[in-house]
Structure 1
Amino acid sequence: MAAVKRGLDRVLAVASVVLFAVLVVIVVWQVFSRQVLTPSTWTEEASRMTFVWLGFFATALVFSEKGHIAVDWLVRKLPLAGRKAVGVLVQLAIIAMSVLILVWGGWRASQGAWNQQLSSLPGTLGQMYLVMPITGVLILVYALHHLVDALRADPFAHDEDLEQVVVEKGGE
């Protein structure tokens, strides 16, 4: 499971960097063409589509790294069993959100807009919405990985806590 996670992390990181670079090029071209040439009609729609895909892929990458916002001060005061229970509940909530809203809802939104043509680009609005179920599946994979981790160890341990445990155990 860890190898799958690392592979997905790498793919998402590269995709995010590429999408960001494409977004920058499109927006620079949009400004240049508006100020110097005849305004390009496709750039606004292309930048919006690129930004949406970038945002969703970056969100999945943040879930991979557990970088989303969490106020865990109170939870960290609980005994280990309580921290594990909360960690499992958090991951189950993420799984439910991912499946219901992103995968199922995103698929329905995509199918509902599949025949709506984009005004200046080839393709449909439904194709743009496909990022939702794709991201939902990615977040689901990450949440399952984190769920297994929450069952194995303290889900709210920070790096400095783990370093302290290693020091206390004699540098293992």
Structure 2
Amino acid sequence: MHALKNGLDAVLKWASVVLFALLVVIVVWQVFTRQVIESPATWTEEAARYTFVWLGFFAAALVFSERGHIAVDFLVRQFPEAVQRVIAVLVQLAIIAFAAITLVYGGWRASQGAWNQNLTALSGTVGQMYLVMPITGVLIIIYALYHVVAQLTRSESAVEDVEPDVI
């Protein structure tokens, strides 16, 4: 399972880098055509918006993989390690439920509901853009299962050790 996680991490890192670079190019072209040529490209706003959405979802899944998401664990740290692990597993199960219901099921329904709705300035449909939701939901479920297994096998800490930021 560790190899699967590392492979998904690598794919998401590269996808995020490529999407970010594409977003920069699109926005620079948008500004150039508007300010220099004085004839703005009509497709750039929509392309930038959808690129940003896909980038945001993929980057969120990657952050989830690295356990970099926000966690308020002050109370959990007060418990013994065994209780911390139980809570960590319960949190991952709640995340699996959320990802399955909201991202996979809800995202799939949203995608199918908008599948025939054409984009205004690009070829393709709004439903195709919404496919990022179920894709990300499946990725988060895989990562959450990885973290559940890691808690049960004690291969990662129940509570992330973080150093306070020094300003």
Report the TM-score, using the length of structure 2 for normalisation.
0.93
Gaps of 5+ in 2: none
Structure 1 stretches of 4+ moved >2 Å: 157-160
Instruction: Determine the C-alpha separation between the residues in 1 that align with 2:115 and 2:67.
Output: 33
Aligned match of 1:35:
35
Could you say what secondary structure the match of 1:34 adopts? helix
- CA positional deviation for 1:158: 2.4
8 A contact 2:92–2:147 mirrored in 1: yes
- Give 1 or 2: higher helix fraction: 1
Greater C-alpha radius of gyration: 1
| Paired residues of 1:83 and 1:156 also in contact (CA < 8 A) | yes
Q: Secondary structure at the match of 1:51?
A: helix
2:46–2:121 Cα contact (<8 Å) kept: yes
In the superposition, relative to structure 1, how do residues 15 and 127 fare at CA in structure 2: closer, same or farther (>3 Å)? Answer: same
Aligned-partner residue type, residue 126 of structure 1: G
In 2, are the aligned partners of 1:149 and 1:155 still within 8 Å (CA)? Answer: no
Q: Which amino acid aligns with 2:116?
A: N
Partner of 1:155: 158
Q: Distance in 2 between matches of 1:30 and 1:36?
A: 10
Shift of 1:159: 7.3
Q: Distance in 1 between matches of 2:151 and 2:106?
A: 27
1:14 is aligned to 14
Q: 1:152 & 1:27 partners in 2: Cα distance?
A: 46
Q: Which amino acid aligns with 1:133?
A: P
Contact preservation (8 Å) 1:116, 1:124 = yes
Answer yes or no: is the 8 Å Cα contact 1:60–1:139 preserved in 2.
Answer: yes
Compared CA separation, residues 26 and 157, structure 1 to 2 (3 A)? closer
Question: What CA distance in whole angstroms lies between the structure 2 residues aligned with 1:19 and 1:13?
Answer: 10
Kept in 2: contact 1:107–1:132 (CA 8 A): yes
TM-score by structure 1 length? 0.90
Cα root mean square deviation, aligned? 1.2
Question: Are the aligned partners of 2:81 and 2:158 in contact in 1 as well (CA < 8 Å)?
Answer: no
Partner of 1:60: 61
Gaps of 5+ in 1: 161-172
- The Cα of 1:157 is off from its aligned counterpart by 4.7
Cα distance in 1 for partners of 2:126, 2:13 equals 25
- CA–CA distance in 2 between the matches of 1:53 and 1:136? 13
Amino acid at match of 2:5: K
Percent of matched pairs sharing the same residue: 69
After superposition, give the CA deviation of every residue in 1:56-77 in whole Å (9 maximum; x if it has no partner). 0000000000000001122111
Aligned in 2, Cα 1:72/1:46: closer, same or farther, shift over 3 Å?
same
